[in-house]
Amino acid sequence: MSTNEIPLPEVGIEERAREIRSNLRRIGRYDWSLWFLAVVIALSMTFAIATLSMAVIFDPRDAFYHFSMSQSVRGLVGMVLLFSVYTLYQQFQLMRTRRRLAEQVEIATEQHLLAESYLKLAMVEPLTGLHNRRYAQDCLVAEMARAQRQKSSLTVLMIDVDDLKRINDRWGHAAGDLVLKTLAARLDKAIRGSDLAVRIGGDEFLILLPECDRSQVQFVLERLSALEVQIETQNISFCFSAGCADYQPGETAEDLLKRADDALYVEKQNRKNQAVPVA
């Protein structure tokens, strides 16, 4: 199952987006109506002022002049009053719409953050903070395709903590968890930014090393030396076994992982009779 297929909380997201678009269109209509009325009022006032200025043409004692000026003034005052009331009403509507839009944007942001958290939970292993097997499978396929396309190298390194069960039995599972977290943190510091370290389950870790030769693999392993954790007042040392395999063009991800796992098994067999310091 690829990360693109991970189910996300989509309940209400499309409806929320439609509501936000609807409110934005409503605000746009309010703005256009206010602009239109402002133009109408400006033209009306211009016409009224022009009409009043006609006093120089008409005889001030003419009854028609007094009637026309009175009606013009009343009409102008009435229009300004109506526009003012309508503007207040539109401003109130805009305020309500903006408030609803702000609430919807806040909800949409929370839903987006929730979706990101679900996605992160689906790709990140919670104990160590490294990516998990599902994410590693997608990345491995992508890196294999890139290596074949660019004719570059790709190395897969598998690591297994030695005698983790013994540490759990003697010091408790909290000590075992601390061992895994410590190794994960050291792995994250030992690799390059283009590399990827994941926990594939239990005490097993997988590292993808694109464009990496065997000398660089050894350098990564050397940076993982002197591993220990502190439980209560005691330092507990632990070791690991490692096996690696280089990508061969045309092989599948399963074949590559199997060769790395076989190399890890051989390494563990070679170390089987070696004492693992747990003190």
> Per residue in 194-222, is it b (16+ CB within 10 Å) or e — as a string?
ebbbbbbeebbbbbbbbbbeeebbeebbe
Task: Write down the catalytic residue from 160, 162, 195, 203.
Answer: 203
Contact 238, 167 (CB under 8 A): yes
Residue with tokens 């069960």: 165
Instruction: State how far the Cα of 199 lies from the Cα of 170, in Å rounded to an integer.
Output: 23
The reply to whether 203 belongs to the active site is yes
| Cα dihedral value 268, 262, 215, 184, nearest 10 | -60
Instruction: State how far the Cα of 164 lies from the Cα of 64, in Å rounded to an integer.
Output: 108
Cβ partners under 8 Å of residue 123, min gap 6: 3, 6, 131, 132, 134, 135
Contact 160, 239 (CB under 8 A): no
β-bridge partners, 131: 124, 198
Contact 52, 69 (CB under 8 A): yes
Listed in sequence order, the DSSP H helices in the chain are 13-52, 63-123, 133-150, 164-171, 173-190, 214-222, 253-271
Listed in sequence order, the DSSP H helices in 53-62 are none
Contact 175, 232 (CB under 8 A): no
Positions marked catalytic: 203
